[in-house]
Amino acid sequence: TLKEILDYSRNSRNEIKCEKADLHKIIDDAFKNSAYIVPDFTYDKRINIKEEVPFYSDLPRVKIIINNLISNAQKYSKRNNPDSFIEVNVMVTKEKMHFEIIDNGIGIKSQYLSQLFEMFYRATTVTYGTGLGLYIAKECVEKLNGTIKVESEFGKGTKFIVEIPNNIQVNN
């Protein structure tokens, strides 16, 4: 909870500083950082990264977004499913980074999707949480002039789609 409050505070007051992102490392670190959430959970980790050009953005915010989405995929997994997976697809162009995280976890009931990014909103009580993670992720995405969407089918899984402008022109 404290980390989430600090993330929110930093996002609201810190200026955007663009740097070259090592997306492989950021994603790998996100999986490592959230491994403690469900320590016995085994799943197929699928990572596909295609970079036509380097991605430049505000790294602390990009890390918050990716960390929150990957930790949610782990939290809301079907732990007893031997075919569980978390898939991360990234495509970087001169214009943007298109990022998807797909899982075959518990999914989200359709009536909750419109409220999912609201502060303190929790669509389920299956696991613990403050209801801040997706709110903070959305705030970070918006601060970077990006978009975040969710598609989900209850009982089958969830897909988050994030697009963030690539600020490569600013840095070259």
Provide the pLDDT for residue 3.
52
Percent of the chain clearing pLDDT 70 (strictly above): 78
Residue 124, pLDDT > 60, answer no
Percent of the chain clearing pLDDT 90 (strictly above): 50
Provide the pLDDT for residue 119.
57
Distance CA 142, CA 132 (A): 15
Sequence letter at residue 33: N
Distance CA 84, CA 65 (A): 22
Distance CA 75, CA 69 (A): 10
Closest-CA residue to 21 (of 51, 44, 52, 54)? 54
Confidence of residue 121 (pLDDT cuts 50, 70, 90): very low
Provide the pLDDT for residue 129.
57
Q: What is the mean pLDDT of residues 72-98?
A: 91
Choice among 2-6, 46-50, 133-137 with the minimum mean pLDDT: 2-6
pTM (2 decimals)? Answer: 0.83
Residue 66, pLDDT > 90, answer yes
Closest-CA residue to 88 (of 151, 171, 24, 166)? 24
Residue 1, pLDDT > 50, answer no
Confidence of residue 96 (pLDDT cuts 50, 70, 90): very high
